[in-house]
Structure 1
Amino acid sequence: MWSGPRNISTALMRSWENRGDAVVADEPFYAHYLVKTGLQHPGRDVILSEHEADCDRVVAGLLGPVPPGVRVFYQKHMAHHLLPGMDRGWMEQVENCFLIRDPRSVIASLHARTPDPTIEDTGLPQQRALFDEVRSRSGAIPPVLDAFDVLSDPRRVLAGCCEAVGVDFDESMLAWPAGPRDSDGAWAPWWYDSVEASTCFSPPRAGTVDLPSELEPLVAECTEHYEHLHQHRL
């Protein structure tokens, strides 16, 4: 699942992990991304000490054997972690899906933690480029999930996603126990407080999202990329 930041990507990972036949990977390219970009994200030292930073080894793990009884290997990816120059051939061996969220909500959430977010920070241009690449290589339209739709009608959207990737929908995907998971990335203490308190998908918040006027051009720039993907949503 290719997502961007400040989405419901971790809640969606909880949903899939709650199946009895699934294991998950939480942002497996994050350590490599931190090494290559030099970014000083919260928990950087812990992340680099606990997670593989060699992208070739990461890919080998993503394509490697899964434990007995596992039918679904759900991988939560951030599109911007797939840096230019990284091999993408492995993507032809997995089912690629995309999770999007309306730019205004993404930017509002980013702005709360990053004073001056950029379009690259939203992950939307990277998602669009990946979507177009996957579509071109496969000759088919990859499944696109919109966060608003997932929150509004999780059963319908999750069932549609399951059908699109060839697995049966499981009712256990609609609710999960609160708390942390062993599968959570080492960055969880800095980012996962809300999802750790959750037990299901909450209905989307009503009303409009207010933003400072200086961020409106960024919203407009992101909207083109969002709509390119949104038109294909399940």
Structure 2
Amino acid sequence: MKVLDEPFYGFYLSNADVKIQHPCHNEIVRTMPNDAALVLNQIRALSTSHHVFVKGMAHHYLSDAPEFILKWHNIILIRHPKKLLASFAKVIEHPTLDDIGIKKASEIFTYLTSEGKTSIVIDSDELLKDPSTYLKKICSLLQIPFFEAMLSWKKGGIPEDGVWAEHWYANVHNSEGFAVQRTSDQPLPEYLESVLAAALPYYNILKNHILKND
């Protein structure tokens, strides 16, 4: 298994009209491919001899119809926008709807469905109810083996982490397994209420299609 951490991030920052400053912006653009075709070539090359897990952000795929994902097994991970925004705002204080990706994730789901493709929608709250059972279901749908080692890990980062890891991955780097994040229980700043209201309809569309953990 080969793992790629947000391989389209450099492409996104180089080509999208990004209004906010992302941590490590210059380093990301300097060290990562700025052309989507180069990223796809990398993924294709790896896939000739390995399963490839691409951890991506929906809004990094700038096309309204990203045809390349039609050949992939697509998993869409969602989190309640209130929890997502509370966490996101700890790094980028004033995110917009486009910055958090839920709208784009909903659009990608609709696109895949319109093309007759099935995607697996998973919810972080469902996952945390019983990680073992949920991961077994996901692996079964993907036709890959489940291993107990998927449920725990050593503290600290991994070589595949992006250069932005120190800004975004502090909680996971300090963990050894699945757990509810404290950020989830923090009150949402009032200035983010309008973003929450805009995000909820897209979240609810995807919520109707989640893989249940029961």
Class of the TM-score when normalised by the shorter of the 2 chains: 0.7 to 0.9
For 2:57 and 2:5, the matched residues in 1 are separated by 9
1:197, distance to aligned residue in structure 2 (A) = 1.7
Which stretch shifts more, 165-174 or 36-45?
36-45
CA-based RMSD of the aligned residues comes to: 2.2
Give the deviation of 1:211 after TM superposition: 1.9
Higher RCO by CA contacts (8 Å cutoff, separation 6 or greater): 1
- 1:49 shift after superposition: 2.8
Sequence identity percentage = 31
Match of 1:184 among 148, 153, 161: 161
Aligned counterparts, 1:92-107, within 5 A: 92-107=70-85
Say which SS state the counterpart of residue 24 (structure 1) adopts: strand
Alpha-carbon distance between aligned partners in 1 of 2:54 and 2:155, rounded to the nearest angstrom: 20
Cα deviation, residue 179, structure 1: 1.6
**1:5 aligned residue:** none
Q: Distance in 2 between matches of 1:125 and 1:162?
A: 26
Q: CA deviation at 1:193?
A: 2.1
- Of 151, 156, 170 in structure 1, the residue corresponding to residue 147 of structure 2 is 170
> What are the residue-to-residue correspondences of 1:60-139 with 2, within 5 Å?
60-66=41-47, 70=50, 72-84=51-63, 88-139=66-117
Conserved? CA contact 1:99–1:147, under 8 Å: yes
What per-residue deviation string (whole Å, max 9, x for no partner) do you get for residues 86-141 of structure 1? x722112110110000011111122333333221122111000001111111343x
In structure 2, what is the equivalent of residue 197 of structure 1? 174
- TM-score for both structures, normalised by structure 1: 0.81
For the residue of structure 1 that corresponds to 2:73, the secondary structure is coil
Runs of 4+ in 1 over 4 A off after TM superposition: 204-209
SS in 1 for 2:110: helix
* Match among 28, 42, 53 for residue 7 of structure 2: 28
- Contiguous gaps of at least 5 residues in structure 2: none
State the distance in 1 between where 2:205 and 2:52 align: 28
Task: Pick which of 100-109 and 35-44 moved more.
Answer: 35-44
